[in-house]
Amino acid sequence: MLKQIIKPQKTEYTIHIPEEFINHEVEISIMPVDYDDRQRNDNKHISLTLEKTAGILKNKILDPVKWQRETRAEWDRSK
């Protein structure tokens, strides 16, 4: 994955496509660095989920399938 932040000085910009991306579907997005709050809130939710669940599987008593189901149920309720 490539990500680059630039400050364009004109309306046209030429990009270089890496060789390993040739003949593959790629996504090219353009958005300002200060993109809208909706996107920031989505990223914040993901970050909080990672913080909340980091290291949780180190507990050997934990049933991973049960934990996954509970996590999915929480996710569905939060929408």
Q: In whole angstroms, what separates CA 1 from the centre of its chain? A: 12
Would the pTM of this model clear 0.75, i.e. be above it? Answer: no
Res. 23: pLDDT tops 80: yes
Q: What is the DSSP string of 26-75?
A: -------TT--HHHHHHHHHHHHHHHHHTTGGG-TT--HHHHHHHHHHHH
Task: Report pLDDT digits (tens) over 24-74.
Answer: 999 998 888 876 655 555 566 667 777 777 776 676 677 878 888 988 888
3-state SS class at 36: coil
